[in-house]
Amino acid sequence: MFLFESIPWYSGVMWCVVLAALIGLNEVTRRWRAAGLAFFVALPLVLTIFVWPQTAGAGSSTGTWFHWVKVYSALAGCLGFMALRYHPRLAAKRWALAFPAAILALNIAEAVLRDFQVAGMTEGMHDGVYMVPGPWNVMNGVAGILNLVTICGWAGIMISRSPSRDMVWPDMLWFWIIPYDLWNFAYVYNCVGDHAFYAGAALLISCTIPAFLLKRGAWLQHRAHTLALWMMFTMAVPTFVTSSRFAVEASHDTTALFVVSAISLLSNVALAAYQVHRVVTTRRNPLTGTELYPELAAYQRVVAEEGAGGERPVRETVPA
């Protein structure tokens, strides 16, 4: 195939299993606080002490600085979002609402740095992964920077009144999420290509489906949960994506690498151009967290689902 080597039927079935497991565990951890604490506090402590030092050490495909930083930054996001969701005094403070945007920007910046780092490598095995460096790494690094600077509207984050108390970000709409997905897939394909069948496609779809079908407006929460769950698993069982029966290798084809990164770059250039248009026409300043898209139907649909009669719910406020 263009992107991957042959995909056996049993690998296709396992891909569906991984997707379903991530969606299911995300639902469990977002609906019940105890489950969130078990998966994002207790389990990582056990893995950090007893498992990862052996499975994600030097020479492992998950033993790089990037994987260790990524798992803990994803977990930090999960715990930070839980703090906002379950502590109204914190969610009422504007500075606290900047945390989701900051942790998202940090995660994007980590991947951008890795793309640029890989661009300077030679073709071959590095950190247990076969790399084919090239201009596609630079292209996708630029796409990631554009995706990062177009994060906006964090001041409008609200906590759902539903029992799951989801963190809803109305300004984070499909035309930002899709370029993010394309950029992140290109990053995984460029830098850990043999993981991309699962860590690129299945992982990204596992948070995009809930954002469109299960709980609109909570994409970042879905992303943090599914990313943390996947990173914990793959660091504990790195052979699953490298040498198990279900592993699927990337084609390492330079045309595929170029096309994937070109699509990523073009989509994020379009996103940035649209946001500049919005800033100019509305005269709103996204650097202050101001929402850019409240007039759009997609934004209003998210807000309507959170309040009676389509009215935006009043954020819980507690005297400082």
Query: Could you report the per-residue pLDDT of 68-89, keeping only the tens digit for each?
Result: 988 999 999 999 999 999 998 8
Element (H, E) at 131: strand 129-131
In a domain, 289, yes or no: yes
Supply the pLDDT for residue 319.
33
pLDDT surpassing 50 at residue 313: no
Query: Could you report the per-residue pLDDT of 192-243, keeping only the tens digit for each?
Result: 999 999 999 999 999 999 999 999 999 999 999 999 999 999 999 988 988 8
In a domain, 251, yes or no: yes
Q: Among 172, 205, 174, which Cα is nearest to 97's?
A: 172
pLDDT surpassing 60 at residue 309: no
Q: Among 163, 173, 182, which Cα is nearest to 212's?
A: 173
Neighbouring C-alpha atoms within 13 Å toward the C-beta of 217: 25
Element (H, E) at 263: helix 254-282
Query: Could you report the per-residue pLDDT of 171-194, keeping only the tens digit for each?
Result: 999 999 999 999 999 999 999 999
DSSP at 161:
S
Number of domains in the chain: 1
Q: Among 168, 196, 218, which Cα is nearest to 264's?
A: 196
In a domain, 136, yes or no: yes
Residue 303 CA to residue 246 CA, distance in Å, equals: 41
Residue 171 CA to residue 177 CA, distance in Å, equals: 11
pTM over 0.75: yes
Using a pLDDT cut of 70, give the percent of the chain over it: 95
Domain around 203: 9-310
Supply the pLDDT for residue 308.
38
In a domain, 198, yes or no: yes
Supply the pLDDT for residue 263.
97
Nearest-5° Cα angle at 73, 100 to 109: 75
pLDDT surpassing 60 at residue 8: yes
In a domain, 320, yes or no: no
- 171 touches 194 (CB < 8 A): no
In a domain, 3, yes or no: no
In a domain, 223, yes or no: yes
pLDDT surpassing 50 at residue 269: yes
Supply the pLDDT for residue 307.
65
Supply the pLDDT for residue 212.
94
In a domain, 317, yes or no: no
Report residue 161's pLDDT band, with 50, 70 and 90 as the boundaries.
confident
What is the arithmetic mean of pLDDT over 23-37? Answer: 96
Residue 69 CA to residue 231 CA, distance in Å, equals: 10
